[in-house]
Amino acid sequence: MTSTDYSMLDVHRPDSDLPADETQTTEPNRLGPTFQPTHPVALAPVTAPPHSVDGFVKEFLRELNTGQGVALSRSSVNDQYLALARTVRHYLMARWLENTRKQRHSKARMVGYLSAEYLLGRQLGNALLATDLSDIAEKAMAACGLELDTLRAQEVEPGLGNGGLGRLAACFIDSLATMSVPCIGYGIRYEYGIFKQTFVDGRQVEQPDTWLALGNPWEFAHPESAVQVDFGGHTERYLDTDGVERTRWIPDWNVLGIPYNYMVPGYLNGRVNTLRLWSAQATKSFDLSIFNAGDYAEAVRAQTFAENITKVLYPEDSTPQGKELRLQQQYFFVACSIRDFIDRLMGPEEDLHTLPDRIIFQLNDTHPVIAVPELMRLLVDERKFDWDDAWEITQKCFAYTCHTLLPEALEVWPTDLLGRLLPRHLEIINQINEEFLSQVRATYPDDEIRARRMSIVTDYPERAVRMAYLATVAGSKVNGVAELHSQLLRDKVLPDFSQYWPDKFTNVTNGVTPRRFVKLANPGLSELITDTIGVGWLTDLERLEELEPYAEDADFRVAFAAVKATNKLQLRQLLKARDDIDLPTDHLLDVMVKRLHEYKRQSLKVLHIVTLYEQILSGKVRPEDITPRTFVFGAKAAPGYRLAKETIFLINSVAKVINADPLVQGRLSVAFPANYNVTLAGRLIPAADLSEQISLAGKEASGTGNMKFALNGALTIGTDDGANVEIRRLVGDEHFFLFGLLEPEVADLQSRGYRPHEYYENNPQLKAALDLIASGHFSGGDRGVFEPLVSNLLYEDRFLALADYQSYLDAQAKVEAYYADTEAWTRSAILNVARSGYFSSDRSMRDYIDRIWHTNPA
């Protein structure tokens, strides 16, 4: 056997040149957190294995033998994947532990990112990229007779997010690590995450997402660092030893939060930050006496009850029990996180007056805002700070990102629920509100209506706490996530607050990580870019502007188009294997992937498809006059969102009819692969020609899918909404298909009284499309199936799909005409890439650092 041929080697045999086994240096202290050795112990530093194929193979075989307990010849694909993941993990460990040690000693200010979602995607490819091990790993696996791509495909993506909010959080922590900025992300380790979407007869059916079933090699559990979290009970007043009247919380029940640590590696810079996710566990999980008495279910009831808190992402909250569980989730993870930072990362010897010098907690939307009264409770009740000092510290420790303009998405918690579940926190919120309103009244002494408008606690329609208001009052800064969104946030969502604190409001436009969404997702394009402008652009994305002159280079356009064609072919292969979908590769690929919501207007996209089909069906247009086009959807609807789920059924029903009709074969095709996720995005986005960003103007906060598509050479058809505004401005009007009402026009139309049925009556194409749906053509002749959807569009249409319909069709006609000019389209696609470097999450992080956090790289 040669030194590079391991195909016949079953078992790793330690050699003198292998690194010593240092796993004992990373084991938890089994004697408990208070144990101290009686004599100084010098622990050898953890060192990474050598950066060589031989070293990688030896480490892989050792993990396979000792970690999985199998020989290579008897191992399953899952064994091999787990061993590979742990091998790659080992290359990161030394950096991670050293970064953590230095952070503890330097006490530099760090970012604490509080987010209910982290849509991470698969970790193996990202870790290989960050460690520059991709080529070595591929050769090492080949030497063992294995294919790296097979093992990559074995990884199950963690479904810890629902859409843009969670994916943004993942992009941000990636960028902070790449920029060497100290950061700890805090969130929830959902046992089942977001549901796994399946389709049964075209309807969405939710299945548990069992992402942990085959093991997760990327996490480190630390039960010895569990945090106790209390709920319920009551409060009582008492005099402390200094005679000061104080309040204590007497809870009814509690659970434990178990931390699971994930490494967040920077790109080729040696920095590894931490993501800490919390899992709920009962404080007393098993009652042996009850079990022995024969009541087996009751014996484990406490554990079942506790585990429900972190069972699923966003439990369905149409019931009182669901609402309470959501609040339990939110308090659980922020209570664990704040306690963790204060007790473990700072330590008992540090003065908490310096807390703002050590941490800035970024509230990623309203889900973690209950952290504000929790920090106040810890400071006032447990650490005995006086109220004013505690409030001054708290206001310096939080900043708030608002991700929505929809009133229903700004969380409001009934005081009855808060008082029952978190009685002390409700008292603290009430006191914060009283003191804030006294300041408002002092500033506006003759404007009690304004004070009531700004009150954190509202009395209508029920007494409740407005969490966005609490975050705004407590936060040092409040930011929107795109220029238009931030302006509307100031002018329409929080106008009284922006007038009261004009300097508190700022904008940070979202961004995406180019490491995952260009380098990993689109290796062909990445290689072309590097060959053209050199290395370095992955951490300086605005260098993409160097590609602009090459839009006029015929050879470059040919190479660029070849990359797109290859991506389409790879997507076809994936969808055939994954979903048994036959995707044409010679069509215009028209893609709409995003959470299913009325304001995102998947209904408008369906109306366009039905219009094209109806025109051919009725003989108004010949099939050969239609540009061959495949429409691809990806979307999940919230389990309790009936209208969204009916829209999914309509899309699938339209797809079934169109795909089976020989009249449009080769011209129109509709695909809706189930369970859209980060992994599928990594294949779909690079293949797309047209990006659908068609939300009603003034409703989308930013969007990040629009950025990913532009960076991968898709042209956008969209409204002037969210970050579309900035994309259009940067790429140029001639390379963007704009349509629809502007936000002021939307507001004006709605104020005058919007009557959608008038658009139906006055537009023959729209009438024909809706009539075809209503006729039962897509529902086996049953006219009642889609009647609720049709009626909703005709008589309510909250997000003005019918008002924008004709403008949308006109823009789509321009798309068809432009796509016919292959050279012009390719030139525009190249310019979209070249002019979208602004939308890197690295730039977003620089903006957060400059405008909000004021932290420094390590």
Catalytic residues: 403, 594-595, 600, 704, 708
Indicate if the alpha-carbon torsion angle 848, 850, 855, 856 is positive or negative: positive
* Burial classification of residue 292, based on how many CB atoms lie within 10 Å of its CB (0-12 exposed, 13-18 middle, 19 or more buried): exposed
The strand pairing partners of 693, in sequence order, are: 718
H, E, C per residue of 146-166 = CCHHHHHHHCCCCCCCCCHHH
Q: What whole-number distance in Å separates Cα of residue 255 and Cα of residue 819?
A: 58
Cα separations in angstroms, 3 against 71, 144, 504: 19, 12, 63
Contact between 282 and 302 under an 8 Å Cβ cutoff? The reply is: yes
The strand pairing partners of 412, in sequence order, are: 466
Q: Cis ω on the peptide bond leading into residue 623 (within 30° of 0)?
A: no
Residue with tokens 């293949």, as numbered in its chain: 687
**CA angle centred on 349, ends 344 and 352, rounded to 5°:** 80
Q: Half-sphere exposure of 504 toward its Cβ, with a 13 Å CA cutoff?
A: 25
**296, two tokens:** 């087996």
Structural element, H or E, at residue 772:
helix 764-774
Q: What whole-number distance in Å separates Cα of residue 309 and Cα of residue 190?
A: 9
Contact between 645 and 204 under an 8 Å Cβ cutoff? The reply is: yes
Q: What whole-number distance in Å separates Cα of residue 596 and Cα of residue 643?
A: 10
Residue with tokens 């900043």, as numbered in its chain: 399
| Type of residue found at 503 | D
Contact between 143 and 5 under an 8 Å Cβ cutoff? The reply is: yes
Q: What whole-number distance in Å separates Cα of residue 847 and Cα of residue 858?
A: 17
Q: CB-based contacts of 90: which residues, under 8 Å, 6+ apart? A: 48, 49, 59, 63
DSSP assigned state of 840: B
Strands 398-401 and 478-480: parallel
